[in-house]
Amino acid sequence: MDLTFDEPLVLDRYQQNPVTGGLIFIDRLSNVTVGAGMVHEPVSQATAAPSGIQCIRTGIECSGSSPLSALGRARFAGG
């Protein structure tokens, strides 16, 4: 799954540093954890989107019914 952020993030590969290579996603309305992931390969500055948006590929596996699955489907559809 690719995720896009509008602010730069400090990330490492999970195997190199689990502290900066792990992600937890919390619903901002309910304050409930809705997902977690591990960074496999952060996108380098050289290949980042020209608009400055940062993307990462995570190791999140989704069942298809979670909010993160919906996010992945929207990103895949170009939304």
| Boundaries of every domain in the chain | 2-76
Q: How many residues comprise the chain?
A: 79
Structure pTM? 0.45
Q: Judge whether 55 and 48 are in contact, CB under 8 Å.
A: yes
What's the pLDDT tens digit per position in 41-54? 766 654 544 444 44
What's the pLDDT tens digit per position in 17-63? 888 888 888 888 898 888 888 888 766 654 544 444 445 555 555 44
CA nearest to 28, candidates 64, 63, 67: 67
Query: What string of DSSP letters covers 21-67?
Result: HEEEEE-TTT--EEEEEEEEEEPPGGGS-TTS-EEEEE-----SSSH
